[in-house]
Amino acid sequence: MRVCLIGAGNLATQLGMALSEKGHHIVQVWSRTAQSATNLSSKLNCPSTTDLSALVSEADIYIVAVSDKAIEAILAKHSWGNALVVHTSGSTPMDILSRYCTNFGVFYPFQTFTIAKKVVFDEVPICIEANTPQNLEILTNLAQSISRNIKLIDSGQRQQIHLAAVFACNFVNHFYAIGEALLQEKGIEFDILKPLILETAAKAVAQSPGNSQTGPASRNDQDIMNKHLALLENHPDLKALYETISERIIHTIK
Amino acid sequence: MRVCLIGAGNLATQLGMALSEKGHHIVQVWSRTAQSATNLSSKLNCPSTTDLSALVSEADIYIVAVSDKAIEAILAKHSWGNALVVHTSGSTPMDILSRYCTNFGVFYPFQTFTIAKKVVFDEVPICIEANTPQNLEILTNLAQSISRNIKLIDSGQRQQIHLAAVFACNFVNHFYAIGEALLQEKGIEFDILKPLILETAAKAVAQSPGNSQTGPASRNDQDIMNKHLALLENHPDLKALYETISERIIHTIK
């Protein structure tokens, strides 16, 4: 397919590269800043623009992969005619597109993206939704060209999936960072935590995390929890967090 | 080495199997209950007992792999003579052994263990500490027979490592479980989260988690955070947790 990529951030970069590798033709990249537009267009070997009125008209699909708050402003600044337009957001309903486009949908790759780390899309769930069966078929084909894992997900479900991801990915990463900082305090390298982080994730994937909680709170081991709270004496915020989450775990296990 | 294994829980089971596979001779398993003693001794093809006074005397090392609060009672109930005795606890200082033993140390495999999921020890950090250089050498050799990743860690550092693990493993698993429960509410299978969980862990191992935070809080995207808080209206505890951790992330990124 001929793809016009609107956005040049983490997701646009990884998605653009994956589509390009699978033989799709990225016909143009738009970004708000010339620097990021050029960065991505040079990777994808295609033209770029920072001017929405200069968007090409011959693309089969326009993928709006920008931050949620920028989506509507971009939609409003261009006449889309009959073009198929999708956004890639977890938390923005599909309906927002109906005000500006005739053919539209959502193409939400459910993964964490950074520009520097290449994502292998094969197993990434692509959550799709469209305003007509025909558009859904086009999105299904596009999604299947980069992943084996296609999900038909409506806007309500997609919001909940995004919320679940904040807990299971963003907050998890913050807790890795807390572990990293606690080790640093005592001059211990973060490396020592890596096998544990990988095994914890592998275990969650192999069996339900709700049924495989381990640690002092899951055993209601007050002695160890008190020792840990004493170690956190100089970190009142972490101490409060430790207490709150331990209470939740104790309550859940019971 | 001839190993006497005191305990038959998650860690004792996985450690016993790993040592046995590498050619060590598990001469006996002790457990408080006959059932768990027999379960493990049948896996290791060795005798078992529930009577501490019936411990064999010819082992090269006695590994006390029981819950922290049970360690001291077990140490007090047997005369150890010159035997080398270690515990496997993250949060119990080595000193506790000095009251009951002449030769002692700590052998702490830093990993999460469940009986059902086999652990590959090759990369598991084994944190060791001993009361003499000779005993340290024995523990080093034993550790190196099952892992490439040996760390000399004193009791203060080990406590901090255990604390870091509560955040980066136990609390992380609880957050996976929250994600699982939120999906379940909307009839969405947990499977959809698995690629994200694995990628988040892989990313933390590849680059510092403190420097690679993603998500709405890291962008201080108040619109999305408010949408998420609205979705959590019926879960006041999760709402409070969402607010607390998002605030921490916003504060950290700034």
Contact between B195 and A124 using a beta-carbon 8 Å cutoff: yes
| pLDDT band, very low/low/confident/very high, at A115 (cuts 50, 70, 90) | confident
Which pLDDT belongs to residue A114?
79
Q: Judged by CB atoms within 8 Å, which residues 52-111 of A form the interface with B?
A: 67-69, 91, 110-111
> Would you state the pLDDT for residue B205?
95
Which of B160, B181, B215 is the closest to A183 by Cβ?
Answer: B160
Which residues of B fall within a CB distance of 8 Å from A180? 164, 168, 208-210
| Chain B residues lying within 8 Å of A124, measured CB to CB | 195
CATH of domain B155-207: 1.10.1040.20
Q: CB under 8 Å, gap of 24 or more: what pairs does A233-237 form?
A: A237/B248
Confidence of residue A113 (pLDDT cuts 50, 70, 90): confident
Do residues B171 and B103 make contact, with C-beta atoms less than 8 angstroms apart? no
Total Cβ atoms within 10 A of residue B82: 7
Which residue does chain A place closest to B124, by CA atoms?
A195
Q: Which A residues, 143 through 202, put their C-beta within 8 Å of a C-beta on chain B?
A: 149, 151, 153, 156-157, 159-183, 185-188, 190, 192-202
Please report the pLDDT score of residue B49 as a whole number: 97
Q: How confident is the model at residue A254 (pLDDT cuts 50, 70, 90)?
A: low
pLDDT band for A212, please (50, 70, 90 cuts): confident
pLDDT over threshold 90, residue A117: no
Considering CB atoms only, which of B125, B201, B228 is closest to A192?
A: B125
Interface test with B, best of A13, A127, A196, A241 (most B CBs within 10 A): A196
Cβ–Cβ of A215/B170 closer than 8 Å?
yes
Superfamily for the B2-153 domain: NAD(P)-binding Rossmann-like Domain (3.40.50.720)
CB contact under 8 A, A196 and B112: yes
User: In CATH terms, are A2-153 and A159-253 the same topology?
Assistant: no
Options 3.40.50.720, 3.40.50.620, 1.10.1040.20, 3.50.50.60; CATH of A159-253? 1.10.1040.20
Residue from A146, A169, A239, A253 to probe the interface with B (highest B Cβ count within 10 Å): A169
The predicted structure's pLDDT at residue B210: 93
Whether the CB-CB separation of B67 and B148 falls below 8 Å is answered with: no
Contacts of B164 in chain A (CB under 8 A): 178-180, 182-183, 193
Would you list the DSSP string of B80-140?
-TT-EEEE--SSS-GGGGGGT-SEEEEEEE-S---SSSPPP-TT--EEEEESSHHHHHHHH
The sheet carrying A25-30 orders its strands as A48-49, A25-30, A2-6, A61-64, A84-87, A103-109, A126-130, A150-152
CA pseudo-torsion sign B86, B89, B95, B98: negative
Helix (H, G, I), strand (E, B) or coil at A251: helix
Strand-pair partners of A152: A128
Alpha-carbon span B199 to A120, nearest angstrom:
10
Total residue length of chain A = 254
Residues of chain A in contact with residue B170, where contact means CB-CB under 8 angstroms, are: 213-218, 249
- Round to the nearest angstrom and report the end-to-end CA distance of chain B: 54
Residue of B nearest to A113 (CA): B214
Rg (CA), chain A: 22
Mean pLDDT of A127-151: 98
> Using the beta-carbon criterion (under 8 Å), do A170 and B215 form an inter-chain contact?
yes
What single-letter amino acid sits at B42? Answer: S
Cβ of B174 within 8 Å of Cβ of A221? The answer is: no
Ordered alpha helix ranges (H), chain B: 10-21, 34-44, 68-76, 133-144, 155-165, 172-185, 194-206, 222-231, 236-253
Contacts of B179 in chain A (CB under 8 A): 164-165, 167-168, 209
Is residue A31 a contact partner of residue A40, using CB atoms and an 8 Å limit? Answer: yes
pLDDT for residue B117: 81
> pTM of the full predicted structure?
0.91
Q: Which residues contact B252 (CB under 8 A, 6 or more apart)?
A: A174, A177, B210, B213
- Angle at CA B138, nearest 5°, toward B134 and B141? 135
Q: Does residue B219 come out as left (phi exceeding 0), alpha (psi in the -120 to 50 range) or beta?
A: alpha
Task: Locate the domains of chain B by residue range.
Answer: 2-153, 155-207, 213-254
Rounded to a whole number of angstroms, the distance from the CA of A186 to the nearest CA of chain B is 7
Total CB pairs under 8 A between chain A and B: 303
Chain A residue with Cα closest to B215: A170
Chunked mean pLDDT (size 10), chain B, 254 residues: 96 96 97 97 97 95 95 96 97 97 98 85 96 98 98 96 98 98 96 96 94 91 96 97 97 76
* Sign of the alpha-carbon dihedral angle for B151, B153, B159, B161: negative
Residue type, B204: A
Distances B48 to B51, B70, B254 between C-alpha atoms, Å = 9, 19, 57
Taken in order B46, B52, B57, B63, is the CA torsion positive or negative? positive
Q: Mapping DSSP to helix (H, G, I), strand (E, B) and coil, where does residue B150 land?
A: strand
**How far is Cα B138 from Cα B150, in angstroms, rounded to an integer?**
13
Q: Cβ contacts of residue B94 below 8 Å, gap of 6+? A: B104, B105, B106, B129, B130, B131, B154, B155
The answer to whether B40 touches B29, Cβ cutoff 8 Å, is yes
Q: What ipTM did this prediction achieve?
A: 0.92
B165·A177 Cβ contact <8 A: no
pLDDT at B88: 98
